[in-house]
């Protein structure tokens, strides 16, 4: 019998990668990175430990790929029409997109916040996080500066913190946290 074609193999590989990726994301989110063993990931994915290493160089690389993969989405949200003149609708839209991702990629947020508090691991991601952080700050500061707010930087950091507070409370209690209402209250703060 002839070997599988390259495209067949590629399909198999992508499926497996996706599978491992999803399982790992969920486990990292619920148990934390350090407390999630490669064995757990393999068991939950229904594969052998060895196979994970066919697709990911190490547990750490798996984490990095997951975090970076998710980050792309967030970086994508940062676009504004004119950096010098950020419109309120753009901010609102940015918030709403974030809320949408928060609902959809609930696990990703959970994992992301949990990493925030594990300095050793977090250092792996520092650069990207900084990039995103600066992107958000630029937009917000520009927005408040244009409107003559006395301390645009303070206001910007406050707003960012408020958003993350909402996110943290939401992912800690998805069932009953009033996310949409909180979003409205957040918009009022702009």
Partner DNA sequence: AATGAATGAGTCTTCATTCAT
Partner DNA sequence: AATGAATGAAGACTCATTCAT
Where along the sequence are the contacts to its own copies (CB under 8 A)? 30-32, 34-35, 110, 113-114, 116-120, 151, 153-155, 157-158, 160-166, 168-170, 172, 177-178, 181-182, 185, 189
68 binds, among its own copies, DNA, none (CB under 5 to 8 A by kind): none
110/29 Cα distance (integer angstroms)? 5
Closer to DNA by Cβ: residue 47 or 129:
47
Q: Name the nearest CA neighbour of 94 among 39, 143, 48, 37.
A: 143
> Residue written as tokens 């009953």?
176
Q: Name the nearest CA neighbour of 54 among 5, 15, 111, 4.
A: 15
Closer to DNA by Cβ: residue 9 or 134:
9
Closer to its own copies by Cβ: residue 17 or 168:
168
Distance of CA 41 to the CA centre of its chain: 20
Among 30, 54, 151, 172, binds DNA (CB under 7 A): 54
CB of 81 to its own copies, least distance (A): 28
| 3-state secondary structure (DSSP) of residue 173 | coil
User: Is the Cβ–Cβ distance between 121 and 64 less than 8 Å?
Assistant: no
74/178 Cα distance (integer angstroms)? 23
148/158 Cα distance (integer angstroms)? 16
Closer to its own copies by Cβ: residue 46 or 119:
119
Closer to DNA by Cβ: residue 47 or 179:
47
Sign of CA dihedral 20, 22, 28, 33: positive
93 binds, among its own copies, DNA, none (CB under 5 to 8 A by kind): none
34/115 Cα distance (integer angstroms)? 10
Among 32, 40, 113, 149, binds DNA (CB under 7 A): 40
- 76 sits near DNA (criterion: CB under 7 A): no
Give the count of residues interacting with DNA (CB under 7 A). 27
- What residues line the site for DNA (CB under 7 A)? 1-4, 6, 8-9, 12-13, 16, 35-40, 47-51, 53-54, 57-60
């Amino acid at each position: 019998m002839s070997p599988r074609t390259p495209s067949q193999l590629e399909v198999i590989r992508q499926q497996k990668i996706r599978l491992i990726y999803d399982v790992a994301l969920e486990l990292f989110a619920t148990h934390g990175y350090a407390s999630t063993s490669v064995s757990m990931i393999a068991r939950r994915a229904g594969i052998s430990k060895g196979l994970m290493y066919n697709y990911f160089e190490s547990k750490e690389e798996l984490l990095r790929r997951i975090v970076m993969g998710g980050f792309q989405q967030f970086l994508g949200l940062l676009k504004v029409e004119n950096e010098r003149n950020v419109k309120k609708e753009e901010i609102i839209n940015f918030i709403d997109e974030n809320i949408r991702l928060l609902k959809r990629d609930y696990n990703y947020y959970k994992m992301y916040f949990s990493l925030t508090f594990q300095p050793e691991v977090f250092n792996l991601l520092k650069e990207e996080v900084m990039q995103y952080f600066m992107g958000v700050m630029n937009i917000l500061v520009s927005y408040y500066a244009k409107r003559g707010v006395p301390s645009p930087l303070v206001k910007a950091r406050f707003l960012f913190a408020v958003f993350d507070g909402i996110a943290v409370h939401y992912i800690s209690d998805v069932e009953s946290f009033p996310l949409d209402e909180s979003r409205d209250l957040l918009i009022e703060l702009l």
